[in-house]
Structure formats: structure tokens, C-alpha cells
Structure 1
Amino acid sequence: MSPTPLAAFAAQVAATPVYPHVVKRAAAAGVTTTHATLRQQAANRDFASAYQYIIVGCVALLALRNVCRLVARHNRAWRLALQKLDALQMERLGEQKEGYEALGHRATWSAKVDAVVFYPLRSRWALRLENPLQVLIVVASVAVNVGFVLGVTMKYDGPQESVWNTIHVVALRCGWMSMAQLPAVIALTGRNSLVQFLTGIEYQHLRFAHKCLAVWMALLGVVHTLDATIANFKYFGGAGVEQLYLHNYLGQTGIAMIVGLFLLCFFSWRAVRMRWYEVFLVAHVLGVIMVLVGIIYHVPSLKVWLYVPLGFWIFERVARALQLVSISLLCKLQFRAPLVKARATLIEGAIVLHVPFKGEWKAGQHAYLSFWDLSLASTPWIYFQSHPFSISNVPSCSAADPRGRRDMLFVMRTRDGMTKDLARRLARSETGSADVWMTVEGPYGGCTDTEQFHEILLVAGGSGISHIMSMLADILHKARNSYSRATRVRVVWTVQAIEQSVWTLKELLHSAKTAYEAGVQLEIELYVTRGMSTPSPEAVDLMTKELPPPPTLQVRRASVMSVNSYAESPIADALTILPGRPAIDVIVPRWIANAQGKSLVVACGPTPMAQAVRLETTKYISVYPVSLEIALFEC
């Protein structure tokens, strides 16, 4: 078996020449290399190599976990398919069967592990870490990095001279360990990384490990710089420090790398990134250039550290390019035009985007959108931005055009940045609509197969309703056209002002009509957090809907609603508008406990809301037949 890229890289590191600049300085100073100094040099290589093997081992274990999950998922899919075929055969023979048999309610080992490692932490001592998994990553990184920095260096008993001394030995080890973070940091970069491909872990979850290792790279780099400065000051005084940073390439390139790491870490801080996203993009590019060029000139022999990380980066960029022009990456490589003309409409503080897309997508997926229309030339920074948005529909919601394309639907809330500039462009149009040229990268992600659940609770906050809308459309489509077991669906949506929900509510009420015809009991609860004590005129107008026609025999199925009860169950009854916020700690437990069969809880929205849903659901995941899905993605 050929070695993995990281394993081969670790072996290459072990053969890297040790600090030519240190050897030269030692020779110039007339310092004799002793056994203690040789031991430190060997230890530096060994610890850096060991760190790479630890990362490789973690990735290998996660890859094995991914294989086991894929096998289990495919086995379940085959069992569901066989039961569906059995149901179709019974229908042909004139026998009636409601859906298909349950596959059991025992919680899987994967679900139990996820319930533990993702259990929300609410203590102030958690230091803003969200779950035990993040705590484990931080603690493990502290233990390994601190241990590897102090290992052997604290036992240095060699000469205490200007080149080799205890302070400088620690500085060198910190420099090595800072460089040791680089392959993993770049391997975890991007939404199409090799690590994601091997482990099946979504980019949004890998980002925490990416940030944690990047912080360690910066922190160890700073300690390396400080220790070197102290050592020079101790043996050469202020003139030595001045010489180091004004006339020595080691100090100058070191400062350049520290500045680059600062740009990377500071502008990646969420509060700064969300406020100045355009600045974040520029700072990230500049920071990477400064770090990589600084490495080449700081210690030229360490250029080998860049080969494998460069390969990781090229893999991610090629995969991202394929997502722009292909329908299904690595599985069904059919090319499509990267630029498409979409129809954008400004409606009640939101942008509704219809994008012709040649290919398939699934409920719960999202795509990264970039706008390249010439009408946006006055704000050129838009051209270099790519933001994730949930796809609000499924292919079954629209008919294909002669070129085999269907409309992808996006509902984008207008905020600062790209969406605000696009909204201004649409506001200048008399109709509030315009055609815009854009690219669609994706689709990415997915959701749990809802076909196997009897009752489904969908919780959304703000623009998270886009994710929920596609899942709801998929649930109802399967209920009308296949043997889905879904009999009851409840949508809980929270918005700040009811005006933000007008267009989406119309679509949800249309879904209520579809649910009625499919025999699915649909409940829609809209919570308005600001400026509402009673339903507004807009809400009253939306709730006044004419009754649907009677369901036909082709779409009728046995369910909680009778065929003759449509006149007694207006579609408007499916919608309830309430002031305030939903009581997640009441809604979720009651739903799980009262579910008749297997239930699914889905949440998409702000982190506090998603964490509250996760907290309440994980309490019952081992007791009741319930599954949980938390949709999370951001720039």
C-alpha cells in the first residue's frame, strides 16, 4: 500500500537538513557542536514527524468511521427499497398497505456518540466552546503541542552561548511546531478538502479544527519570535535586537510571517469577518502570501514543508472548479455552463432568485452563489465573493425546460454586503426584478432521508426557513407519490417582523394545500419577536384562503384526515401566528414524547436556537425513536 500524502510528508520531514542558518552562525561564532545540541536537532525533527503521524492517524480513524456509516446507510436504503417494492407488488394484487414496516427504533451507535460529543455546553466555564467535541480538540491540541515543545528542551545541558542556549532551544522547537501545523491547516481549508472527502465530515464542522490549529501556528510563531528576541537581547543587548530585525533576513522574514499570521487570525474572528467580509477576503490572501513567502526566505531548506500543503490546496481548488461546471462531482461528470442568467426579484426585504440549473439536487442542500453581472460594476468587490444559501425547493417543484434545466429557488434575506448591494440594484428597476449573470457552486450537503419517519418537527429561525422549505417540499412530494410513512409535520418559524415573512408564508400555505391533498397533517406556527401583539392585516390577509378542491383518488391515501373532511378543515387552519419566541424546551420534548412512531427533529437558524433544539432532543434520543439534524453553514 502506498503511503498517504501526510505520511510521505512526515518521512520527508525526517530527512530535512537541520537549520543551515544555525550551523552557519555556529561556525562563524566558533561554537563546537556538542552531543546536547545534536540531540536537540534530532528531537526537533522527531517531534515534527510524530505530529504529522498523529494527524494522519486521526484522519484514518475518521475515514474508517465514514466507511462504516456509508455501509450502514446503504444497507438501510436497500431495505427501504425492498419494502417499497413489496408495497407496490401488494398494490398490484389489490391489497392495501399503509407505507411499509418500521426498521426498528433502537438508537444507533453513531447517534449515541453524536448525542454525547455534540451535547451543548451552557456553562460560563466553557469559554464559548459549544460542545464536548470542541473541548476535546482544544485539550488534545494543548496537551500535544505543549508536550512536544517542552519535551527534551527542558533537559538541555549543553553550552549556554549566543547560538545554543536554553532560550534559543525553546525558540527553535516552537518554530518547528509552528511549521508542523501548516500541512493540517491547509488540508482542512476549503469546502472540498481532501480531509472532507475521506472522512465525510462537512466543512462547517472541520472549520473548528482548522481554526484551532491555525491559532496554534500563530501562537507558537509568536513564542518563537519572542524567545529569539530575548536570547539576542541577553547576549548582545539592544544592538543585537536591532541587528536582528533591521539587518538580518531571519528577523525580517520572521516579522513578515508574524504579520501574516495576525492578518489570518484577527480577520477570521467571527465578529470581524461578519462585519467586514470583504476586508477578511483581502486579509486572508495577503496573510497566506506573507506566510508562505516568509517560510521560503526564512529557512530555505524548509521548502519541503510546502509541497504537500500545496498539493492539498490544488486538490481543493480543482474540486471547487468541478463543482462550478459539473453536475455530480466524481460520480457523474457531466459539464454545464459555469455562468447562468438568473431571475432576481425583490419582495418584502428578501430577494427571490430563480436559477436555471441543469442537474439534480436534494432537499436540504445548499449552494455557493457568486454574482458577475455588469450592472454590479459600481461595487466590484461583489465579484470576488461567494456565499452559501439554502436551496428552497426540490427538482419535483418545477418542470424542466427544453435544455433539461430546472429552476433552483433561493430566498435570500437582504443584509449588509453582497445581498444589500444586489437589493439596491433591484430597487432601481421599475418592476423590482432583473436578470443577473451568476455562478452556482454546488450543490453541497444534504439531509436525513425523511421517508422513514412518521412525524417530523421542522424548526427554523429567520432565513433558516429556506432549508426547511426544501425539506417540506420533499416530504410532501414523497407523501403524494410514494410510500412515505410521514403522517404529521409541524413547522415552527421565528422572525423579527411579520413583513419579512409575507412571501414565504404564501409558499408555506401552498404547501398546506399540498399536505391536505396528500393526507399529511401540517401545522405551521409563525412566531414574531418584534412589534406584534395581534395578527397584522398582512397576516389576516394571508390566512384568508379559499378551500382547495377535493383530493382525487390518485393522490388520496389513508391518513389522519378523511376524504370527505376537506370542507371542515380550511387550509388557513394550518397557520398560527403568535407573538414572542417559541418555547423550545416545551415544544421539542412534547413532540418527541407524543409522536406516534419514529420522529425526526430538524433545526436551521441562529446558533442559540439550534443549540436549544439539540439540547432538548439529545435528552430523549436513547429513550424515544427520534433522530436529530442540525443544519449549519456560514461563510
Structure 2
Amino acid sequence: MGDGIDNSPLSLTGGFNLSQIAGNYSAEYDFLQAMLDFSEFDPTNQYLAQLFWYTIAGIIGFFTLVNIGQQLIAHWRLRKIRIGALESDLFKGPLALLRFVSYPQFQVWKCKGSRSMGDLFLVLLYFAMILMFVYISGAVAGFQHWMSVAFRAGWITVAQLPLLILLAGKNNLIGYLTGTSYERLNLLHRWVARIIFFTASLHMIYLYHNFSFYGLVSMEWNTDTCPPTGTAAWVLLFWIVFSSFAPIRNLRYELFVAQHVLLYVGFTVALSYHIQPYSRSIWMYSWVPAGFFFLDRVIRLIQYAWNNVSSRGLSSQATLQMLPGEVTMVTVKNSRLRSWTPGQHALLSIPKCGHLQSHPFTIACLPSKDNGSLKFLIRAKDGFTRCLLKTAAERADAPQSLTAFVNGPYGSPKCFAQFERVILISGGTGATFTIPLLLDIAQRSSTGSIPCRNLTLIWVMKSFAQIYWFEDELREASETAKDLNLDIHIHITGGEQVSTECLDVVCLCLKEDAIQEGLEKRGCTCGFADKNKVVAKQSQLPSNITIHHGRPVWSTALANLYTTYDETGVAVAGPTGLAADVRNEVAQIELKHAMRLEDTSGLYLHIEHYGF
């Protein structure tokens, strides 16, 4: 180092006189190099990065134990083993209070990405933890004050990268341990990315402030590779985070995924060059995530090959059928994917409607039906789903098989047969999630004794024609259920009036001429003034179906819960508004339970989101 500078961290009394180096390039350069010497602070930063991961491991371990406990409780309940601790007020009261706090969901301008208060609290706790790691004992006095905070923020930024990738994969280690499906962890993935961008911005802002304060910005850019490489990494990270917001990523999701991966590769390369001059111990945090990413891709590739390729070639073929409400039923046969849990979903790809595109859809049937064929009900929107509808219309008279690829199953739905009372709530195509649960419980009740004694299905639909999607399944559930009080409530919100005398008639609201002509060929006649409506005779629907006009009043629909030692299971699949309304009503019931204002059973709530 230059004269007058010792090798210890600079301080206010470190023997350095700024007035003596002003305008002296050599002295300024020596001062800059001394300022950048953080060899004595790296061990502390490295220790805190390790402590961050010890904390994350502890959190994952805690939720792993919770998952194991839930699995054991489900196992005991299905065998009707009473668990005294779960009946105790010391357990039920705090649990009800926790649910009251975490269940509510408040929508902001009807944002589809709205989540529960529990999700919000989890993100805020993580953010608070990161701030603690950045600022706790992070600053030193003297010339290196802002530099010390900047370097600490940089270390914590890089330390979070493995967690970011662990939360992103379809084959998710955290998900396996905690019993959480990847699409739920994807929310945390996005928020961890945003917090990483925040700490990276802190790193850059503190550095710039420090160099600007001492008039060393130009010298640092001209003599060090870190500023340009760091700026490049920050710009790439900015676009990765910005493009992941729902309004942007949903414009062209396939394009979003492709650029997302490519940009992260570029970010990793830029970051590697940025940190190269400094401690090599930090490299691990930038390249380990790449290993996680490629491992997930290799596993997915093996799964795709196993599920879709046999000794005879491609093993999956799909047939398409149009249904009322611009819905396409896709039936995939001959796939090796023959086992799944009711409520799980699979990734579906049909090259006819888009190469290199794979989309998640709920499997709308049980594996025990139709020789293990998979059935998906897909509402037409844009792109892939609209192509499916048009293809089904074109081939309505002569259905043909299409090459298909499936992968999965994914998702971690709970076994609802363990609850003494179950309420299944769905809106529109959300029934693809609740109907398999309904069939599973009904089937279990017919083959053996299960805890569930009361089962209610509430299906909200715009037109009564939509009951045609699952008419056979509703009839099968009603006929199969034994020792089970099964009630089915259909709520029609489209203003259509359906009388109880006409429950054996399904009014198919059709907009596609191809379907209308096909129904007329099968003997259907028009019974309404609206030419787009065709009346198709169907067999009598089950007597336990009640028709309602208008939206459900959830305070009434969820009232009169049975008082048991066990919980009531509530599953919801549908639009964000429906899920939010049910969340908030269940939270109020849990508050009454916690405060013992009403003698109700606890409510376990599962929300299945449409989009990820």
C-alpha cells in the first residue's frame, strides 16, 4: 500500500488524511485498494451466510415434522383411532386462532394473484430475517462504513440463490419434505427473487454512495471489473423479476419461461465474473443452484420418457370432445401414468396445438376408471386451450387420436376421507378438482368404514348445462355412497331458470355450430326461443341434487357444522373471488371456535388455485 496507509481496516483515526491525497492519482488508487480490502470481514460474512442456511434448514425441518405429524394423524383417523391430544382445548384453541389469522384473503382490485394472510406473514417474516442478516453488526466505523454494509448485502444476496432454485423446480426437495406442492412453493420462489433483487440493489446503492462520497466512481469503473459485471448482473436480475409479475408473464407464458431460463443463465455468468476477484468461498452459492436446476430438468426428462415412450414408440394418445361452455374434454389413453391421488394434476402437451408447450391441468377422474385413462376438462381461453377447442370442433363427426405427452402427477392434496364432515366447493371448471375427491370418498365408503359421515358438494356454475360435464360422476357418487349423508347443491349464477320438474333435462348452451348440428343429429330439438340452446334428454339426475339460483351465501352454506372431536375438511377450487369469500367466512368461524362463542368443530381449509 501507499505511504500513510496501514493494512488494518480504515477508521476515522487510521492515520489517513484525505486532504493529502486529493488530486494525487497514486494515493487515491492506494486509498481505493485499501477500501476494497475486506479480507478481515469475509469470515464474518461467510459465517452469516452459513447461519442463514442453518436457519433455512431449521425452518424446513420444522415443517417436515409438521408434515409427518399430519400424515400420522390422517393414518390414525382413517383407522378411527381417537387422539386425545387433538381433542384437548390446549391444542384446538391455539390452532383455531392460528387459522383465523392465516386464512383471510383480501383482494386488491380483484388481483388474480391475491393470496392469504398466512402467505403474507410468511413473506414478511422472511424479509425481516434477511434485513436482520444484512444489518446486524454489519457496519464498521470509518472509511469502510458503507462498504461493509454493501459487502454484507452482497453476501446475503448470493447466499439466497440456492433457495431460489430449490423453490422453483417441479421435482422439489422442499416440497417432498414438507408435503407442499411445487405450485404453492412457486409463490415463495417469486418473493425470494424479489427480496434478492432488493438486497442486490442495496449492495449497489451503498457501493455507489461510498465511491461517490470520496469521488472515486470514475477510478473504480476504470480500474476494476466488478462495476460493469455487477451492473450487468443487476440489469438481468431486474428484468427477471419485473417480467415475472402476473400481468407480464401471462401475456405469453411459453415465451416468459424461455426467456426466464436464458436470463438466469446470463445472470449466473455475469455474477461469476463479478465475484471472481473476491472470496472463492462465495462461488458455491452461485453455481450450486445451477446444479439444482439441471438435476430437476434431468429428472423431468426421465419422467417424460417413462410416461410417454414404450417399446412400441409413443404410448400416449389423446381424443378431444367438445362440451358446453367452451370446454374441451381431453382423454389420454395408453399412458404409463396409471396412478395418482384424487385432486392431483399433470402436465399435458399436444404437439398439434403447440410444440414444446406443457400446461398443468387437474386430472378429472380416478385411476380406477377407464383402465387408467386420464381425463382433463379444459376451458378455452387463448393459445393452447383455444386450439384444443377448435380441433375438437373440426373433428366432431370423426374423432381422431392425437399424439400427446403427459408428465406427473403433481400436487399434494390431503385425503379428505379422514374428516367426519367434508364440504367440497367449486366454481366452474374447479369441479375437476372436487369431483375426484367426491368419487374417492364415495368409493371408500362403499368398500369399508371411513370416518366421513357427511359429504356436501357445492358447485357454482353460470349455466345448468355445465352439469353435463360430470352428470355421470354425480350419479355414480350418489349410487355408490353407503352410510354417507351426501348432499349436492348446484348454484346457477347466469340468470337461467331451471325448475325441479325438469331435472331430467339438460339445457346445453351452445355457441359452436358443429356441436349444435351434432346434437340435432342425435335427436335433440330446440325447446327455447334462443337458437343457441338445444334441449337434450338425459336420464333422471339424483334426487339429492338441490338447485339454487344465484351465488351461495357462505355464512348459510357453512352454518350448522357438526360438533365432533375431529375437524371438518373444506376444499375449494375456483375463481379467486370465490376462494377469498370462503377463506374469510371460514376464518370468522375459526375465531368463534377459538373464543368458544360457538360450539363448532375446527375447519381444515384447502384452496386449489387455478393459476400458478
What range is the shorter-chain TM-score in? Answer: 0.7 to 0.9
Relative to the length of structure 2, the TM-score reads 0.76
Cross-structure match for 2:254 = 278
Structure 1 residue 154, shift from structure 2 partner: 3.4
Cross-structure match for 2:136 = 151
Whether contact under 8 Å (1:325, 1:336) holds in the other structure is no
Cross-structure match for 2:63 = 62
Trace 1:445-460 onto structure 2 (pairs within 5 A): 445-460=411-426
Structure 1 residue 51, shift from structure 2 partner: 1.7
**CA distances 1:229-270 after superposition (whole Å, capped 9, x unpaired):** 3444444477558x46xx964233223222221232122212
Whether contact under 8 Å (2:105, 2:583) holds in the other structure is no
- Name which of 579, 585, 601 aligns with 2:570: 601
CA distance in structure 1 between the aligned counterparts of 2:414 and 2:456, rounded to whole angstroms? 16
**CA distances 1:276-322 after superposition (whole Å, capped 9, x unpaired):** 31232123112211211111221224432234323322443344345
Secondary structure of 1:610's counterpart equals helix
Whether contact under 8 Å (1:370, 1:387) holds in the other structure is yes
- Name which of 416, 425, 428 aligns with 1:462: 428
Q: Is 1:320 paired with 2:300? A: yes
| Percent of residue pairs bearing the same amino acid type | 24
CA distance in structure 2 between the aligned counterparts of 1:538 and 1:275, rounded to whole angstroms? 43
Whether contact under 8 Å (1:350, 1:414) holds in the other structure is yes
- Name which of 446, 459, 466 aligns with 1:480: 446
Q: Is 1:366 paired with 2:342? A: no
| Structure 2: runs of 5 or more not aligned | 1-24, 509-538, 594-598
Secondary structure of 1:489's counterpart equals strand
Q: Is 1:389 paired with 2:364? A: no
CA distance in structure 1 between the aligned counterparts of 2:551 and 2:257, rounded to whole angstroms? 35
Structure 1 residue 631, shift from structure 2 partner: 3.9
Whether contact under 8 Å (2:554, 2:581) holds in the other structure is yes
Secondary structure of 1:154's counterpart equals coil
- Name which of 299, 315, 322 aligns with 2:275: 299
**CA distances 1:390-438 after superposition (whole Å, capped 9, x unpaired):** 111112332x3xxxxx211111111223211222232332427442222
Task: Give the residue type in structure 2 aligned to 1:503.
Answer: Y
Structure 1 residue 542, shift from structure 2 partner: 2.3
Cross-structure match for 2:173 = 194
Structure 1 residue 582, shift from structure 2 partner: 1.0
Distance 1:429 1:387, change over 3 A: same
Distance 1:33 1:582, change over 3 A: same
Cross-structure match for 1:115 = 99
More helix by share: 1
Structure 1 residue 467, shift from structure 2 partner: 0.9
Q: Is 1:586 paired with 2:556? A: yes
Distance 1:311 1:507, change over 3 A: same
Whether contact under 8 Å (2:316, 2:403) holds in the other structure is yes
Q: Is 1:489 paired with 2:455? A: yes
Secondary structure of 2:349's counterpart equals strand
Q: Is 1:353 paired with 2:319? A: no
CA distance in structure 2 between the aligned counterparts of 1:429 and 1:102, rounded to whole angstroms? 56
Structure 1 residue 474, shift from structure 2 partner: 1.5
CA distance in structure 1 between the aligned counterparts of 2:398 and 2:483, rounded to whole angstroms? 37
Cross-structure match for 1:310 = 290
Distance 1:631 1:386, change over 3 A: farther
Secondary structure of 2:569's counterpart equals strand
Cross-structure match for 1:379 = none
Cross-structure match for 2:468 = 503
CA distance in structure 1 between the aligned counterparts of 2:311 and 2:146, rounded to whole angstroms? 58
CA distance in structure 2 between the aligned counterparts of 1:115 and 1:261, rounded to whole angstroms? 36
Whether contact under 8 Å (1:119, 1:614) holds in the other structure is yes
Structure 1 residue 572, shift from structure 2 partner: 5.0
Cross-structure match for 1:525 = 489
**CA distances 1:108-152 after superposition (whole Å, capped 9, x unpaired):** 77965862563214498xx99744433432332332222332233
Structure 1 residue 185, shift from structure 2 partner: 0.8
Distance 1:325 1:72, change over 3 A: farther
- Name which of 257, 261, 265 aligns with 2:233: 257
Task: Give the residue type in structure 1 aligned to 2:146.
Answer: I
Whether contact under 8 Å (2:106, 2:580) holds in the other structure is no
Structure 1 residue 52, shift from structure 2 partner: 2.0
CA distance in structure 2 between the aligned counterparts of 1:624 and 1:152, rounded to whole angstroms? 49
Relative to the length of structure 1, the TM-score reads 0.73
Task: Give the residue type in structure 2 aligned to 1:267.
Answer: S
CA distance in structure 2 between the aligned counterparts of 1:48 and 1:362, rounded to whole angstroms? 39
Distance 1:56 1:28, change over 3 A: farther
Structure 1 residue 364, shift from structure 2 partner: 1.8
Cross-structure match for 1:98 = none
Structure 1 residue 43, shift from structure 2 partner: 3.2
Task: Give the residue type in structure 1 aligned to 2:410.
Answer: Y
Task: Give the residue type in structure 2 aligned to 1:525.
Answer: H
Whether contact under 8 Å (1:614, 1:630) holds in the other structure is no
Whether contact under 8 Å (1:461, 1:604) holds in the other structure is yes
Secondary structure of 1:59's counterpart equals helix
Structure 1 residue 470, shift from structure 2 partner: 0.8
CA distance in structure 2 between the aligned counterparts of 1:395 and 1:618, rounded to whole angstroms? 34
Secondary structure of 1:396's counterpart equals coil
Cross-structure match for 1:216 = 195
Range that drifts further, 593-602 or 463-472: 593-602
Q: Which has the higher contact order (CA 8 A, sep 6+)?
A: 2
- Name which of 384, 407, 412 aligns with 2:373: 407
Distance 1:267 1:385, change over 3 A: farther
CA distance in structure 2 between the aligned counterparts of 1:123 and 1:451, rounded to whole angstroms? 31
- Name which of 506, 511, 520 aligns with 1:542: 506
Secondary structure of 2:368's counterpart equals helix
Task: Give the residue type in structure 1 aligned to 2:344.
Answer: Q
Whether contact under 8 Å (1:369, 1:439) holds in the other structure is yes
Cross-structure match for 1:577 = 547
Secondary structure of 1:468's counterpart equals helix
Cross-structure match for 2:9 = none
Whether contact under 8 Å (1:513, 1:571) holds in the other structure is no
CA distance in structure 1 between the aligned counterparts of 2:394 and 2:186, rounded to whole angstroms? 38
Distance 1:336 1:230, change over 3 A: farther
- Name which of 583, 586, 593 aligns with 1:614: 583
Structure 1 residue 450, shift from structure 2 partner: 4.1
CA distance in structure 2 between the aligned counterparts of 1:336 and 1:104, rounded to whole angstroms? 55
Structure 1 residue 204, shift from structure 2 partner: 3.0
Task: Give the residue type in structure 2 aligned to 1:441.
Answer: N
- Name which of 118, 124, 127 aligns with 1:133: 118
Whether contact under 8 Å (1:352, 1:410) holds in the other structure is yes
Structure 1 residue 35, shift from structure 2 partner: 12
Cross-structure match for 1:560 = none
Task: Give the residue type in structure 2 aligned to 1:215.
Answer: R
CA distance in structure 1 between the aligned counterparts of 2:359 and 2:546, rounded to whole angstroms? 32
Cross-structure match for 1:95 = none
Q: Is 1:172 paired with 2:151? A: yes
Structure 1 residue 220, shift from structure 2 partner: 1.6
**CA distances 1:172-223 after superposition (whole Å, capped 9, x unpaired):** 2222221121111111112221111222222233223222221111112223
CA distance in structure 2 between the aligned counterparts of 1:289 and 1:479, rounded to whole angstroms? 51
Secondary structure of 1:423's counterpart equals helix
CA distance in structure 1 between the aligned counterparts of 2:219 and 2:550, rounded to whole angstroms? 65
Q: Is 1:624 paired with 2:592? A: no
Secondary structure of 1:442's counterpart equals strand
Distance 1:36 1:383, change over 3 A: closer
Secondary structure of 2:162's counterpart equals helix
CA distance in structure 2 between the aligned counterparts of 1:68 and 1:484, rounded to whole angstroms? 20
Structure 1 residue 630, shift from structure 2 partner: 1.4
Cross-structure match for 1:184 = 163
